[in-house]
Amino acid sequence: MSEQYDLIVVGSGAAGLSVALGSGGGLRVAVVSRGVAGLDGATCWAQGGLAAAVGQGDSAGQHAVDTITAGARHNHKSAVRWMTESAPDVLRWLLAMGMQFDTVNGRIALGREAAHTFPRILHAGGDATGAELARVLREAAMRQSWIDRHEFADACEILKHGNQAVGVLVRNRRGEQMRLLAPSVVLATGGIGQLYRHTSNPAEADGSGLALAHVAGAELVDLEFVQFHPTALSPRADDPSTQLPLVTEALRGAGCQLINDQGARFMVAASSQAELAPRDVVARAVYDQLTRGNRVFLDVRPLGDRVRAQFPNFVQICAQRGLDPRVQPIPIVPAAHYHMGGIKVDLHSMSRVPGLYAVGEVACTGVHGANRLASNSLLEAIAFGKALGERLAQRGPVAPITRVDPVVGHAARAESTNDQMVLGRLRQLMWSDVGIVRSSESLQSALGQIQVLERRCLAGAPVLRQLTTARLIVEACLRRRESLGAHYIGGATHAHWSPRSGQAVA
């Protein structure tokens, strides 16, 4: 069974819906999502905000400098400058659709987060920016008759004719397969956090989009740069979930401090920027404390009752765990959070496969370099997504796709219990050997074990996509022998901390 479109978008977060809405009604668009469109993926979980240099004394140029500094100067400078200059237009677009940003005295409030030299972070609902953004984009998309939603559908393969991408093979929750055909296919499938035992990412962020692109012939770059958020709420011993509640960085921007169980502020010694240092620096400092056998806490008590108004989502999460941040420090751990690498695309979001595009976290525009600056991800997703939709709309509708090559991918059947067991083993392996601190020994060990898992998997197993992506990440880590940004090479041997046991293990 086949259906024809002008544009197919795989993923329904900020990036994917921005592409669909940016096309403006001149094209027939299909949006494919694993769950409910606009509600699955990472966008609705974002507690941080949207970075935009719109405050007094600030500038797109300074925003670009901060972005490149945080990215260890590994960034694509032209992409950075374009993105920071696009921020005011993105803001106007969102406001026109009805997004409700937080205000002070009738003006949009601007907060400050790590490594930003000016307050330039726009929030909505305190720490619920992602939820408000998802609401706005979802409601806008649902009003458009030219956007078809294929919900609870898994993209199994990029369909091609010769070298050209011409559609997507999808499977619905009943196991039925369908070919969606279009001359333009956009991957907006998000990140890779679910490849790790502890992550802030939802279930959909499992690296499948990278595997789809790899099989289709796209180039993947900078896969070694995985950002670990330094502050996620420590897991309960009885909680099997891999997704941990994020403790927003804006809390540190508001003056909250990291302490160990002796009450010492260890970030003062770790960086001149202390709690506002780039995320990789903070994450390694937290990790170092944990491997020394110390517990780590975020001390929110200086905010007092203000925390309820400024960070209601955080307070609610703490209450669910029986914690009150007004009177006690909150236990935290690092968690896999954001992937700077991805499908290599140019300034127009084009991959090297004709007809195949990528936006958002699955793409590598070069904006983030070796380490993403806080709150740049939503800006990048919307700016590049909206621009791509507008660009594709300028071409107008095209002739239907009539020829498609045979399916060649390896994700043809439904997920099984064995797939979940393999994925569980992979997550622990990635956490312990390809995590915050790496060594050549740990990476070689991980590569060998992943290759064994790949050989043992049955043909058509969906988990092969995660194994493929994980192997490509490890291979990229091995190629980069020096530490850079979020890719940190430690000694020949090092301890790995297990949040469940609370102990450092060799």
Catalytic residue list: 279
> Which residue type, as a one-letter code, is found at position 422?
V
> Which residue type, as a one-letter code, is found at position 280?
D
Measured between alpha carbons, how far is 89 from 94 in angstroms, rounded to an integer? 9
Site of tokens 């491997």: 291
Q: How many Cα atoms sit within 13 Å of 377 on the Cβ side?
A: 29
Site of tokens 């499992």: 206
CA 478 to chain centroid: 22
Buried b (16+ CB within 10 A) or exposed e, 128-143: bbbbbbbbbbbebbee
Contacts of 139 (CB under 8 A, 6+ apart): 98
Q: Are strands 50-51 and 121-122 parallel, antiparallel or unpaired?
A: antiparallel
Measured between alpha carbons, how far is 77 from 120 in angstroms, rounded to an integer? 20
Contact 230, 334 (CB under 8 A): yes
Contact 386, 96 (CB under 8 A): no
Contacts of 297 (CB under 8 A, 6+ apart): 258, 259, 260, 261, 329, 330, 331, 332
Of 374, 372, 375, 355, give the one whose Cα is nearest residue 364: 372
Contacts of 417 (CB under 8 A, 6+ apart): none
Measured between alpha carbons, how far is 52 from 132 in angstroms, rounded to an integer? 17
Q: Are strands 226-233 and 257-260 parallel, antiparallel or unpaired?
A: unpaired
Q: How many Cα atoms sit within 13 Å of 182 on the Cβ side?
A: 23
Contact 196, 431 (CB under 8 A): yes
Site of tokens 């197993």: 461
Contact 422, 457 (CB under 8 A): yes
Distances in whole angstroms, Cα of residue 478 to Cα of each of 88, 248, 355, 464: 40, 31, 31, 21
91: three-class secondary structure by DSSP: helix
Measured between alpha carbons, how far is 480 from 477 in angstroms, rounded to an integer? 5
Site of tokens 């502890």: 198
> Which residue type, as a one-letter code, is found at position 71?
G
Contact 8, 182 (CB under 8 A): yes
Tokens of 47: 């507690």
